[in-house]
Amino acid sequence: MADAKKKDELSDIEAAIEEIMAGEDVSVEDEAEPESESSGIDIEIEALIAERDAFRDKFMRALADAENSRKRSERDRREAENYGGSKLARDMLPVYDNMKRALDVVNDDLRGQAAGLIEGLELTMRELLNIFEKHGISKITPAVGDKFDPQLHEAMFEAPVPGTKAGQIIQVMGEGFLLHERLLRPAQVGVSSNPG
């Protein structure tokens, strides 16, 4: 009996398909399913839609996580490339300081006596500065009268110097250095403490 019912439904469906192909309107109301079958199918459809939405949500979250992970790894790679050598750069700063001190004491008498040695020091200093520039290391060279910036300068002392305003640099004791935008060593300065 169930087989006969299925055959009737199949023939009705086939007839409806033929009518659609022929361009005629088909009324589905004639083939209404029993109420229990219709509500069971609706519940199953709603469950499938909910499951689809849950999978779509999980997929979108996984996609966002993958994109965030890619961006994070790219940022980490850039930082490692830019700042990975910061320890070596920091260790090279005393070499620069010592060479600068050696060149600062050179006078005309000394230049006449040891011209080759002085020229070698100057060439070495120039090459060291070229290497610093190549790797993104730049000097912070404040001038007397500049405003003290705690992000770039280290105050070694404060003194009330006439003719200056509070917070002005009154003496530069050591140059500072940046590695790209990151501070390697602050410039060492003396700062005016004049009131007002």
Any idea which fold 137-196 has? Nucleotide Exchange Factor Grpe; Chain A, domain 2 (2.30.22)
Residues 6+ apart with CB under 8 A from 128: 92, 95, 96, 99
Over residues 94-135, the pLDDT tens digits come to 999 999 999 999 998 888 898 899 999 999 999 999 999 999
| Residue found by looking up tokens 């990975």 in the block | 84
Give the pLDDT confidence score for residue 112 in this predicted structure.
87
Please, which pLDDT band fits residue 67 given cuts at 50, 70 and 90? very high
Please, which pLDDT band fits residue 40 given cuts at 50, 70 and 90? confident
Parallel/antiparallel/unpaired status of strands 176-179 and 153-159: unpaired
CA 124 to chain centre: 35
Give the pLDDT confidence score for residue 184 in this predicted structure.
92
Q: pTM here? A: 0.61
Residue 45 has pLDDT above 70, yes or no: yes
